[in-house]
Structure 1
């Protein structure tokens, strides 16, 4: 059994389960296309598009979103994200406009849509239903930019949210199994890395999908090794970082090659 788990971890790294996150600053596909092409050269597992960097969100269109999906999907998975300012996002908009954009995301059919666990419950309910209809998977995110909470508090955070989905939204087990949790902390000391790594191991052993590591210089260790502990994938950058401690995708792959002696 232990040997099988080891093989799983090894295979995860060999596949380079890395998501490259890129900020989208305008809605001109001609300008975005070469950036996507550069990212695809690194052969990532997924590409995350951070739309909260757009200077004028009103210019966002379905055609633009569909063009992005078409340009990436044959080669990598697609994640659409509109990060809320409360969790590191760059764009302040009202809940009505936020829901409208999330709906556009889902209808353009990326592989995943990422939004916060603290999103209004009515929006969560509608987005889950819409995502199910369009076969789009959901990543529920939690970011703590100040510290790393305890392992026990992290488990409670996820359990309480799961209970809310089951009791208040009446979600069945099949829907819950498809949800990915993204639980991100800030490392204030090196030992903080143990919390996300323990969480990844716990969730993996419980057949639940999770992405978890620490941000910041002291969190680089868990950002790299979280896949070894069972994280669904990890995040890297191409040039411009979208989070503290993010590593260039080429450097991250080089590290994995060195770990595996696979050059």
Structure 2
């Protein structure tokens, strides 16, 4: 299981001030571009990709539809994704499939899609149906993050992930239960088959995210 650490710069100065040495333990960097105004994203992009040259980067525009910090029309969303993909070729492009289904076909030329689903309210009853539909599209990674309210919510997410991975060995999954109850799901990838877990430096990008330093310690103990 690889560790992803999100960065959330709000200006080009924030990018310049990132201490890359503190991110050495991260396997991947997720650039959460939604913390910038939409007109600033392409202006700041060169600084971000120069800062992390040689590192694997996930480009994510988490919109307000899925708990993010930017409001975009389908046209604006797809245009920004396509420009970043074409200009900088990040290792992965996050695509909010259910929020922007109408323009999904425009991204089919890009083989490195992370098809994502986020639910900050609940663990939906149709979780398996959502996971099944995303799996049927054969993206690089299926990512699902849902809010846990009960211990059973957490166990369901972990069990579903293991089941889908067993049946679809070639497909990569990154799944997590959000919130304090869901923290266990963030360290259980070796059991469930989840390929990524997300850790924070100072600021968490989702509820229940564990700090990079603590996550390193936990995974080290578990792997001994």
Same fold (TM over 0.5): yes
CA shift, 1:235, in A, is 0.4
Alpha-carbon distance between aligned partners in 2 of 1:98 and 1:36, rounded to the nearest angstrom: 29
Larger radius of gyration: 1
Corresponding residue to 2:65 among 78, 86, 89: 86
| Matched residue SS, 1:60 | helix
Do the aligned residues in 1 keep the contact of 2:135 with 2:142 (CA within 8 Å)? no
Q: For 2:196 and 2:179, locate their aligned partners in 1 and report how far apart those are by CA, in whole Å.
A: 18
Q: Aligned-pair distance for 1:69?
A: 2.4
Kept after mapping to 2: 8 A contact 1:227/1:233: no
2:128 match: 155
> How many residue pairs were aligned?
221
CA contact (8 A) 2:122 2:146 kept: yes
Shift of the alpha carbon at 1:95?
Answer: 2.2
Once residues 89 and 31 of structure 1 are traced to their aligned partners in structure 2, the CA distance between those partners, rounded to angstroms, is 19
1:180 to 1:67, Cα distance in 2 relative to 1, 3 A: same
**Deviations 1:53-95 (CA, angstroms, capped at 9, x unpaired):** 11x3212226x42442243242x31001001211111111222
Q: Are residues 1:32 and 2:15 paired?
A: yes
Report the CA distance between 1:109 and its aligned residue.
Answer: 0.7
Describe the shift of the 1:73–1:155 C-alpha distance in structure 2 as closer, same or farther (beyond 3 A): farther
Gaps of 5+ in 2: none
Aligned twin of 1:48: 30
Write out the 4+ residue segments of structure 1 that deviate beyond 3 Å after TM superposition.
Answer: 119-122, 160-163
Deviations 1:120-173 (A, max 9, x none): 3342111122x14xxxx11111111122134xx32222333455x5xxxxxxxx
Q: Is the 8 A contact 1:186 1:216 kept in 2?
A: yes
* 1:114 equivalenced with 2:97 (yes/no): no
Higher share of residues assigned strand = 2
Comparing 191-200 and 80-89, the one that deviates more: 191-200
TM-score by length of structure 1 reads 0.77
Counterpart of 1:225 (choices 161, 166, 188) is: 188
Which of 40, 50, 56 is matched with 1:59 structurally? 40
Residue 56 (structure 2) aligns with: 77
Matching of residue 21 in structure 1 with residue 6 in structure 2:
yes
Greater helix proportion: 1
2:79 counterpart residue number: 100
Q: CA RMSD in A?
A: 2.0
Aligned equivalents of 2:94, 2:22: Cα separation in 1? 20
User: CA separation in 2, counterparts of 1:35 and 1:232?
Assistant: 26
Shift of 1:34: 3.2
Alignment deviations for residues 228-249 of structure 1 (CA, whole Å, 9 cap, x no partner): 3110111010101111111110
Secondary structure, in 3 states, of the residue corresponding to 1:20?
A: strand
Aligned to 2:205: 242
Distance 2:146 2:101 in 1: 23
